Chain A
Amino acid sequence: MHWTDIAENYDFLMKGLFITLKLAMVSVSGSLIIGIILGVLRYSKLFLLSWFAVAYIESVRSIPLILFIVFIHFGALPYLTGEPSSFFVSACVAFIIFTSAYIAEIIRSGLNSVEKGHIDAAKSLGLNRMQRLTYIILPLAVSRMTPALVSQFISLIKDTSLASTIGLIELTRSGEIIYERTYHETEILIFIAFVYFVICFGLSKLSALWETKPYMCTEHREPVGANQ
């Protein structure tokens, strides 16, 4: 075994890890914003808006992520801007388009999980639709959506490894660059898998801690949505 490869290239790998985390943070912020808009659109009673949201969500959810990444990097962005796109930007755009559809689904099922009794009570207090959404439905829904959102974020961190295929030097690609030179694939791949495992497993354990908190929930319920 050649574990010294990792120690020798430690800085390079950590630089890759930094890019991976940066990519995940930028993408998750962007897809949260778009996902919330889409989720509320889908929840809304306006036919055209909810129909648009359904069409977007369902079509994005049935296409592989790698198709988006490659198409946006080599096809869409260069065509729209007229010049080659940077790896980081195309990866971000692809992840935001892809993950926002999943987040919209989580938002919608979170909104739907609010019992009718709460909404009726709010109506009887004379709150209008916007007030009901901001004061009653959203605070309840957000606490229930958190586990599903965290698991979507974990999926996204794992998916960032796909950005290596268009050439972005994140954690996976930096590992590839090392073993393409040294031919010691096993050690590097185990190390990279370990890094991903620590991040993702740690996050899922953190979210499990949150789940056991009886925060704003009167009864135990299954988290909405599911990990991919």
Chain B
Amino acid sequence: MVFVTRLEHFNAAHKLYNPNWTREKNEEVFGACANENWHGHNYQLYVTVKGEPDPETGFVYDVKKLSTIIKEKIVNQLDHKNLNMDVPFLQGKLCSTENLVIGIWQQLVPHLPKEVQLHSIKLYETPRIYVEYFG
């Protein structure tokens, strides 16, 4: 079993805000991240798949094809977008990095070929903050 990782990136605006709470409680819990006018990040997305190398190609999976799938299904939906407002698969969800990796996992799985398994989604919100999800 070999793990193959592809790194992609996107830039987006978001805010952390629970609509069921008062503005005061949101500011207390989420601090500066609750700014009603949004703030933003350069996200770095690591997608890791696993499988056995194909004896004829030596590849677990063609990373160019993996990159195309990630771009079409994930990056094009998130890049230069407002995560709270513009992204169908995040509608009604809190736009934390934790929820973002779960959403990305669910979006990606149906589009991967059956010879590879999705192993993990790692997402950097800043160079100093990242989350991981293993399904």
Q: Do A and B come from one complex?
A: no
